[in-house]
Amino acid sequence: MNGHEPRHLNTAAYRPRHLKQTAADSRAHSGRQSVSARAGKPASKIRRDIDIERVEKALDRSLIRKNTANICVSAVILLLGVTSFLYGLTLEPSVTIFRFLTVDGTLFTTCGALACIIINLVEIFRREDIVFTATYYIRLSMAVAESVIFIVVVFSQLPVFAQHLPMFDRYDSFVMHVVIPILGVASFLFNDSPIGKLSPGKCLLGASYVSVYAVIIVTLISTERLPTELIPYFFLDYRTNGIGIFLLAFVFVYTVAYLMGWGLSVWNRKCSWLWFRDLVGSAKKK
């Protein structure tokens, strides 16, 4: 399967591990019951209290609730992303606004939120979970970008928080640095359908946004659209400090982003199943 092909997950494929065991027990029970009947022995009592059809219906309802929640959160991110960028553009109506990792990350996440809304609407309409491998990596990269933004704010602002507190008086700054990162990461962890355990090489795709930002900032600097005094981080000024510091900083940030991508993918596999934790209990025969 290439990165552009959707993987259609029916309820059997999407069923959590304990539900798969339930279904297997039910099938085993049916087989053993027929064998026991032929042998004149009583049938064993294996998961008789579980109605598989009720499990399927409960799973379908959980998928709809998950997709609806993701649509709502993505719609909020879309609205906040567009309005905060437009607000910032009124204060700095120039291409230099794209010099900030926060601004570029917000636009990246906003576009991803729009894609999520479309995909989730299709999933609800078709009543099946569709996982695009490429879309998953984009969503993972969005979560990584927002994690980097939030962590930079925490570690750079908290030690001298009082000095930098006025930055949060601006609507765009507060939304981009705090609100969207929290919503974006939470939405990915709880609402995105996992594609399985990622190999070390595939975890690099989660850090791809770092490459996107590197291309943007290098283009702005090399084309002289971004004056030296407006370069946001000193290590990005490779014309003054040399290419060595720039590459070293890039490798460091990419390594941090890689570790974040791996951690987020692991927790996504754990958290996304919370939508289905009560399926067996709700499907017990009355």
pTM, two decimals, is: 0.74
Residue 229 in tokens:
């005094």
Asked whether the predicted pLDDT for residue 25 surpasses 50, the reply is no
Q: Which two tokens stand for residue 1?
A: 């399967």
What are the E-state strand segments in the chain? Answer: 6-9, 129-132
User: Does the CA dihedral 106-229-222-248 come out positive or negative?
Assistant: negative
Tens of pLDDT, residues 198-255: 888 888 888 888 889 989 999 999 898 898 888 888 888 888 888 898 899 888 888 9
Least confident of 24-33, 121-130, 169-178: 24-33
The residue ranges of every structural domain in the chain are 16-48, 51-282
Identify the weakest region by mean pLDDT among 59-68, 95-104, 237-246.
Answer: 59-68
pLDDT in tens, 250-275: 888 889 899 999 999 999 998 988 88
pLDDT higher than threshold 50 for residue 18: no
Handedness of CA 129, 130, 134, 139 (dihedral sign): negative
Question: Which of 10, 19, 13, 12 lies closest to 276 in space, CA to CA?
Answer: 19
